[in-house]
Homo-oligomer: A and B are copies of this chain.
């Protein structure tokens, strides 16, 4: 598989998606999918409000056209049209005049980060609210305030999308990302845009060993909806998977393992991260917080990890207006893209071989061995002999890397030569 430069294009897609007001349902998700569909042929699915999905029910669809707080001079002092984070997600409609004190019960701000507008939601309890910077909140004087939210909560549907890119094998690699967050760049337009460009790259490959399942869902309810339809197949076929989130800022990579930390996804992630040569942060599964909560749950148990940059909850801009287009960079996105390409490439390479002959094959007659008997073997010959020794049908290339220190990429190349020479076969 070939590696290409995409950082700038990924950043451009994030910029295009940024202004849209997304939530777990509603037209914002549909508009976002329309933009993504310009890049890749995703299938878009609608699931009616009220549908039971595992233990949950698809909520009413939420849409919003305007929201603001006016002071007694008629000035819009908080305006959804300036920043869609200003409104509490899933706010019910309201049109009232309140005292400063009454208003305060509906306000959300962050005293510790007084210039940031927080991102808050109330999907399952009917209420309304506004989010604003703590500085702004502190400046609100006594007096009357007119609050107006022009939203609707009606029976509609939840929208999600996926794309299945077939491979030689029915075994699947899952890439899942969440599409429900409004104007925030790292969390999670970075994941959405990266998944889009990885799809594009995978579609361009002439041949894939694995089938790829790429999933764009609203977080939690969307993942549950998706699983309710596909978990039997996924439980059977998915051999490794990734939650794509928080991949856009200039920070070291980080890794959140699967439930028990021992799956193929864990092994490939740790190998890829280790061989970047740069430090990375390892989290415990106890620090989880995205759709691995569903994918790894009892009875589902998929082998899913997250490879991120600054992990959600772990950066000061998280879930605020400061997670904006300045916070992510084309360079960081490019690096993230390359790392995911590499993990996928290694998964494709990571076969299990068995030697075709007993004892060492005679490499000399195949021009793979020095003709003069020397005390030391050339390093390339040593690698060949080590692969042949450990190709006993019980080790995949990642395991042979652990046993020999030879990179998976080198092992793959050597395996190709030896397979051609009929010295190895894939099992």
Contacts and interface: CB of A to CB of B under 8 A. Distances in A.
Interface of A: 54-57, 88-89, 108, 120-125, 127, 220, 223-224, 227-228, 231, 259, 286, 293-294, 296-301, 312-313, 318-319, 354-355, 357-362, 364-365, 371-376, 385-386, 388-393, 404-405
A37 B415 CA distance: 45
A355 B298 contact: yes
Given A123-B373, A373-B120, A404-B286, A297 B358 contact: yes
Contact of A54 (B318, B359, B385, B391): B359
- Which of A122, A362, A386 has the most chain B CB atoms inside 10 A of its CB? A362
Given A297-B389, A299-B355, A360-B294, A89 B373 contact: yes
Nearest to A301: B392
Contacts of A358: 54-55, 227-228, 231, 297-300
A270 to B, nearest CB: 19
Given A122-B371, A372-B121, A375-B313, A293 B389 contact: yes
A327 to B, nearest CB: 16
Nearest to A423: B55
Nearest to A385: B293
B375 A318 contact: yes
A108 B375 CA distance: 13
A359 B386 CA distance: 44
Nearest to A54: B359
Contacts of A108: 372
Contacts of A54: 357-359
Contact of A319 (B88, B227, B375): B375
Given A298-B392, A389-B297, A392-B299, A122 B359 contact: no
B122 A294 contact: no
A127 B372 CA distance: 10
Nearest to A363: B55
15 contacts: A55-B360, A57-B362, A121-B372, A122-B371, A122-B372, A122-B373, A125-B364, A228-B358, A231-B358, A286-B386, A294-B359, A297-B359, A298-B388, A301-B392, A319-B375
A296 B359 CA distance: 8
A389 B313 contact: no
A124 B313 contact: no
Contacts of A365: 124
A220 B360 contact: yes
Nearest to A259: B389
A360 to B, nearest CB: 6
A294 B88 CA distance: 68
Given A220-B360, A259-B389, A362-B56, A124 B371 contact: yes
A102 to B, nearest CB: 18
Contacts of A391: 298
A227 B359 contact: yes
